[in-house]
Amino acid sequence: MNSSIMLRCRYVLKKAFFAPQYALRRLISRNRSARNMKKIDPDPVPTAPHEIRLFMTVRNESLRLPYMLRYYLSRGVDRAFIVDNNSSDDTADIALSEKKTHLFFTKELYATQASGIDLLLHRYGAGHWCLVVDADEALIYPYSETLPLRGLCDFLDQESSNAMDCILLDMYPRVPLSEVMYERGADPLLVAPWFDKSPYTTGCKGPLYIHAQDIIYEGAERIFGGMRKRVFGANPCLSKFPLIKFNKSMFLSPGAHFIQGARSSDVRGALLHFKYLHDFAANVKREVEREQHWQNAVEYKKYLSRLNSSPDLDFYSPFSARFTDSHQLVALNLMRSSEKLKAFAAVR
């Protein structure tokens, strides 16, 4: 038998074996989250069709959340679902102050937050275009300056895609963080407009069986590298699937780096990632103590080690570029457009 046929047969058999196990584990995780999650706002969730819905887990995000909620609601998101993971600041009040925002509360370990989002997607996301993002991530895409989010979703529908891949682009200031002060509600690009234009690497092309995350990934290669590798020696996955038209056979891994059951577009967007503001050092110390991020906060421990050795850490380097617009990121091959999208955007 041809070796490629043998490999394909082996893959089909493995998928048949693992898929039911993974589905059962995810069901158990959703049920656990359902028991531990409480809806806070009194407003019923309408069954309005065709809404663009945002899903976000937050913990002590009062600094970034005001801008990010307004950012998405002003760009075409119709309704937001916020999971407050036991915040001790006024994150909950900020969420409740926005119209068409539904707030949920949980004390579950932050490491299990993906099951809470999976639960809400099953309850409120099926059939809708959904954004699954963090409070420090701003979505952009080719022609985003002129093509509204609804237009992008219409294009993805037209090409029969139900997911869009993105690069997580770490944004940072030109000066050391000790010299930066970001004001709540302001555009973070005003203080952190720089990113690494290179180098990046790729890997982890599907099909992959990721047992720790209960997922079968069959998509494109993931992106690694950038500023975090250069500065901290970390090498996390910088690819995410933040925009999906959810159906109940679809599943996002923790962090949304991998997806199961999707038809991903060839178009690639970007998430401008505003983690590196003046509160970064304090957040790192807190998360190292909590050890609730991936692998007991191993990446945060690398952050802390570097900050301890370089308190006035400066992210700027010869690899740095100042963000201008979506066309710049396409030209750098960090985002990816298509002739069909170009033609579609031209008539919108």
Residue scoring higher pLDDT (8 or 26): 26
Rounded mean pLDDT, 322-335:
98
- Indicate the pLDDT class of residue 252, thresholds 50, 70 and 90: very high
DSSP string, 133-198: --TTEEEE-TTTTTS-HHHHHHHHHHTT--EEEEEEEE-B-SS-GGG--PPTTS-GGGT--EEE--
Rounded mean pLDDT, 72-100:
96
Tell me the average pLDDT of the chain.
Answer: 94
Rounded mean pLDDT, 296-314:
89
Domain encompassing residue 320: 3-346
Number of domain units in the chain: 1
Task: Say if CB 39 and CB 98 are below 8 A apart.
Answer: no
For residue 126, give every residue at least 6 positions away whose Cβ sits within 8 Å of its Cβ, in sequence order, or none.
Answer: 246, 247, 248
Rounded mean pLDDT, 240-267:
97
Residue 118: pLDDT over 90: yes
Q: Enumerate helices (H) and strands (E) in the chain, giving the number of each.
A: 10, 17
Predicted local distance difference test score (pLDDT) of residue 291: 79
pLDDT above 70: percentage of residues in the chain: 99
Predicted local distance difference test score (pLDDT) of residue 186: 97
Predicted local distance difference test score (pLDDT) of residue 111: 74
- Indicate the pLDDT class of residue 61, thresholds 50, 70 and 90: very high
- Indicate the pLDDT class of residue 294, thresholds 50, 70 and 90: confident
pLDDT by residue (tens digit) across 15-47? Answer: 888 999 999 999 999 999 999 999 999 999 999
- Indicate the pLDDT class of residue 7, thresholds 50, 70 and 90: low
Grouping H, G, I as helix, E, B as strand and the rest as coil, residue 106 is: strand
Residue 4: pLDDT over 90: no
Rounded mean pLDDT, 170-182:
94
Residue 1: pLDDT over 60: no
Predicted local distance difference test score (pLDDT) of residue 342: 97
- The model carries a pTM of 0.95
Kind of pairing, strands 163-170 and 239-245? antiparallel
- Indicate the pLDDT class of residue 110, thresholds 50, 70 and 90: confident
Predicted local distance difference test score (pLDDT) of residue 178: 87
